[in-house]
Structure 1
Amino acid sequence: MPELPEVEALKDFLTEHLVGHEAVRVMPVAISVLKTYDPPVTAVEGHRVDAVRRHGKFLDIATDGGVHLVTHLARAGWLQWRDRLPDGPPRPGKGPLALRVALETGEGFDLTEAGTQKRLAVYVVHDPADVPGVARLGPDPLADDFDEARLAGLLDGERRRIKGVLRDQTVIAGVGNAYSDEILHAAKMSPFKIAGTLAPEDVHVLYTALRTTLLEAVERSRGVAAGRLKAEKKSGLRVHGRTGEACPVCGDTIREVSYSDSSFQYCPTCQTGGKPLADRRLSRLLK
């Protein structure tokens, strides 16, 4: 799933390629991708792109017609830029193509989604806040006003595990499964530590890890073409998706905890005092 750093990079890429150009056609291919009907998707057509913004993991393409095309790529969605779009409208079918946007230059982009679970979402709205997921977002961790005190306030009284809190978009916008693994590894913190029990020094370490991990990932992604961002993300991860490999910090074997539809990775030596956490599917968690 694209998270804050990749969506930030896509925002920068689209700012360079879209702003000032006219969207002449918006062509839905998978009807399930459209989550709004008023204004219609055709309201984007014939208008110039004024700006591209990011709200958490949402991309917001704003036009001079006062409408916004907002998309959330979800778990298996992606944006593919095309220097030259194929002639003619796309044909509906069983392929990954969900929606195509064509510019007056002949360029454009496709929104695609792999797999059978169709969660890619596109909204056409007058205000991004009309998108429920955007309206519920917590603060952006890279915002200038997101300081250590702000993080402490968000964690105060939280009875959930820190892993879940970091992934909760209503608490902090933009962090998902992969970067929460990376942040907790950098902070040398157990994923199951209760968020509200963090001492001030723990909050300081977590805040530093949060900002540093995200900023470094954004910097790695800066200037990378849209089609290469997935590979760039994977190459920069230290623990997420690396079950069975050696931890790059201590050399211990990276372990995994699995759930019904997801999993996360961690280093026992760095994060849990050397204790492996039991697989969630098989037994109770070891604390």
Structure 2
Amino acid sequence: MPEMPEVQGLVDFLRAKLVPRDAPSAVVADVEVLSFAVLKTAAVPLSTLIGQSVSAVERRGKFLVITAGGVHLVMHLARAGWLRWSDALKPGRLRPGKGRMALRMRFAAGADDDGGAEPGFDLTEAGTRKSLAVYVVRDLQDVPGIARLGPEVFDVDYAAFAALVSSHRGQIKGLLRDQSVIAGIGNAYSDEILHAAHLSPFANAAKLKPEEVQRLYEAVHATLESAIANASGRPAAELKDSKRRALRVHARTGEPCPVCGDTVREVSFADSSLQYCPTCQTGGKLLADRRMSKLLK
């Protein structure tokens, strides 16, 4: 699942393409919906975007926002969605189908493009569980997920972070992933953060000691800053692979921990899993492989 660093990488990439500093902004030529389930709004027609110049490309939590003519195209890539850019899309409209294609956004050819090639991107989604979501709105607060967002992670200072942790009645991993508390962190980076902080994902947030909260705060910033730097300047096609290569424990079940050499373990749930290092995070104890947060004894 793309999380804040990858979405920020996409924002930086698209901003350079669509709102360049040394050239006119891109003009929307067409928007095609190829999977009707992806579009979650109807009040503002997609056609409102056509002919409008892109004025901004931004991020809200894990949402990607393209603004043109005062209208926002908001995209949430969910578990298996992705954005594929092309400097020269093939001409002609596509037929809706049951494949991975969900939406295509096409931009007018540049004045210096003699061949008339139109750039643009496709939104795709792998797998059978379709969660990719697109919204067309005039007010970002009309997107339910954005309206529920908590503050951006880098806007939370230590005092506010400590207050959020101490008041949370639940496991620390759940807090990190709760977009209404802090926006942008998902399953992968919460695993990475907790590994860096030497904390169990099942640790009770409200019972963390002050020094543990301090480690966690520092791990949040160090992990995400490193991930953003890793994504910076990369084309969209490289972002997913660069993320996978940089992960230390997430999706590394059975591999040696890069810190201590112990075997990375997994806890599986109905629709997700987490990874952790017993030596680094749980004092050598194995976590029960079920939803309960008890340690095996």
The one-letter code of the counterpart of 1:53 is E
1:199 is displaced (CA, Å) by 2.0
Aligned equivalent of 1:203: 213
Aligned equivalent of 1:138: 150
Q: Give distance in 2, aligned partners of 1:156 and 1:271.
A: 20
Contact 1:279–1:285 (CA under 8 A) maintained in structure 2? no
How big is each residue's C-alpha offset from its partner over 1:181-224, in whole Å with a ceiling of 9 and x where there is no partner? 00000000010111111222111110000000000000011011
Contact 2:13–2:235 (CA under 8 A) maintained in structure 1? yes
Aligned equivalent of 1:23: 28
Q: Give distance in 1, aligned partners of 2:62 and 2:14.
A: 15
How big is each residue's C-alpha offset from its partner over 1:152-177, in whole Å with a ceiling of 9 and x where there is no partner? 12112211100111011001101000
1:127 is displaced (CA, Å) by 1.3
Match of 1:60 among 45, 65, 68: 65
Describe how 1:141-160 pairs up with structure 2 within 5 A.
Answer: 141-143=153-155, 146-160=156-170
- Aligned to 2:192, the other structure's residue is in SS state helix
Match of 2:97 among 77, 93, 102: 93
Q: TM-score, normalised by structure 2?
A: 0.93
- Aligned to 1:7, the other structure's residue is in SS state helix
- Aligned to 2:153, the other structure's residue is in SS state coil
Q: Give distance in 2, aligned partners of 1:30 and 1:55.
A: 24
Aligned equivalent of 1:184: 194
Aligned equivalent of 2:22: none
Contact 2:202–2:293 (CA under 8 A) maintained in structure 1? no
Aligned equivalent of 2:46: 41
Contact 1:166–1:172 (CA under 8 A) maintained in structure 2? yes
Q: Does 1:103 align with 2:107?
A: yes
Aligned equivalent of 1:239: 249
- Aligned to 1:37, the other structure's residue is in SS state coil
Q: Does 1:5 align with 2:38?
A: no
Q: Give distance in 2, aligned partners of 1:16 and 1:164.
A: 35
The one-letter code of the counterpart of 1:286 is L
Match of 2:274 among 264, 279, 287: 264
Q: Give distance in 2, aligned partners of 1:46 and 1:154.
A: 45
How much is the aligned-residue C-alpha RMSD, in angstroms? 1.1
The one-letter code of the counterpart of 1:257 is V
Match of 2:223 among 188, 210, 213: 213
How big is each residue's C-alpha offset from its partner over 1:226-262, in whole Å with a ceiling of 9 and x where there is no partner? 0111100000000000000000000000000000111
1:138 is displaced (CA, Å) by 0.8
Structure 2 residues not aligned, in runs of 5+: 20-24, 110-117
Q: Give distance in 2, aligned partners of 1:225 and 1:251.
A: 33
Match of 2:182 among 172, 186, 192: 172
Q: Give distance in 1, aligned partners of 2:133 and 2:37.
A: 8
Structure 1 residues not aligned, in runs of 5+: none
